[in-house]
Structure 1
Amino acid sequence: MPRWSRRNWMLGAAGLGAAKLGLAGPGWGAGAWAQGAAEFPNKPIRVVVPSPPGGPPDLILRAILPRLTATLGQPVVMDNRAGGGGLVGTAFVARQPADGYTWLFTTASHTNIVPFNDNVSYDPVRDFTHVTLAAQNFGQALVVHPAVPARSVAELVALAKREPGKLTYGNAGNGTASHIPAEVMKTMTGTDILSVPYRGVAEATTDLLAGRIDMFFVGTQIALQHVQSGALRALAITGSKRWKGMPDTPTMDEAGLPGFEVVNWFGLWMPAGAPPAVVRKVQAAVAAAVGEPEVKAQFDTLGLEGVAMPPDDFARFVADQARIAQEIGRRVNAAPKP
Structure 2
Amino acid sequence: MQVKAITRTIFGALLACTALGTAAQTAGAVKADPNFPSKPIRVVVPSPPGGPPDLIMRIISPKMSSVLGQSIIVENKPGAGGLVGTAYLAKVPADGYSWLFTTASHVNIPPFHKNVAYDPVKDFTHVSLVAQNYGQALVIPTSLPANNVSELVALAKKSPGKLSYASAGLGTASHIPAEVFKAKTQTDILMVPYKGVAEVMSDLLSGRVDMFFVGTQIAIKHVEAGKLRALALTGNTRWKGLPNVPTMQEAGIPNFDVVNWFGLWLPAGAPKPIVDKIYDAVQQAIKDPDVIKQFEAQGLYGVGMPPADFAKFVAQEAQAATAIAKSLPQEVSK
TM-score where L is the length of structure 1: 0.88
Query: Aligned match of 2:159 in 155, 158, 163?
Result: 163
| Counterpart for residue 10 of structure 1 | 11
Deviation for aligned residue 1:143: 1.5
Q: Does 1:104 align with 2:134?
A: no
| Counterpart for residue 132 of structure 1 | 128
Root-mean-square deviation (Å): 2.3
Taking structure 1 as reference, are residues 232 and 43 closer, same or farther at Cα in structure 2, changes over 3 Å only? closer
1:57-108 CA-to-partner distances (Å, cap 9, x unmatched) read 2222222222222222333322222222211111111112222222111112
Q: Is the 8 A contact 1:132 1:309 kept in 2?
A: yes
Taking structure 1 as reference, are residues 144 and 334 closer, same or farther at Cα in structure 2, changes over 3 Å only? closer
Taking structure 1 as reference, are residues 319 and 19 closer, same or farther at Cα in structure 2, changes over 3 Å only? closer
Deviation for aligned residue 1:233: 2.1
Q: Secondary structure of the residue that 1:217 maps to in structure 2?
A: strand
In structure 1, how many angstroms separate the alpha carbons of the residues matched to 2:211 and 2:260? 19
Q: Is the 8 A contact 1:177 1:264 kept in 2?
A: yes
Mind listing any 5+ residue stretches in structure 2 that lack a counterpart? none
Q: How does 1:1-338 map to 2 (within 5 A)?
A: 1-3=2-4, 7-12=8-13, 13-17=15-19, 21-26=23-28, 36=32, 38-333=34-329
In structure 2, how many angstroms separate the alpha carbons of the residues matched to 1:170 and 1:19? 33
In structure 2, how many angstroms separate the alpha carbons of the residues matched to 1:22 and 1:229? 46
Q: Which amino acid aligns with 1:214?
A: D
In structure 1, how many angstroms separate the alpha carbons of the residues matched to 2:21 and 2:246? 42
Single out whichever of 291-300 and 321-330 deviates more from structure 2. Answer: 321-330
Q: Is the 8 A contact 2:29 2:269 kept in 1?
A: no
* Identical-pair percentage: 58
Q: Is the 8 A contact 1:5 1:259 kept in 2?
A: no
Corresponding residue pairs, total:
329
In structure 1, how many angstroms separate the alpha carbons of the residues matched to 2:303 and 2:137? 21
TM-score where L is the length of structure 2: 0.89
Deviation for aligned residue 1:5: 6.9
Mind listing any 5+ residue stretches in structure 1 that lack a counterpart? none
Taking structure 1 as reference, are residues 334 and 91 closer, same or farther at Cα in structure 2, changes over 3 Å only? closer
Q: Secondary structure of the residue that 2:142 maps to in structure 1?
A: coil
Q: Which amino acid aligns with 1:160?
A: A
Q: Is the 8 A contact 1:57 1:105 kept in 2?
A: yes
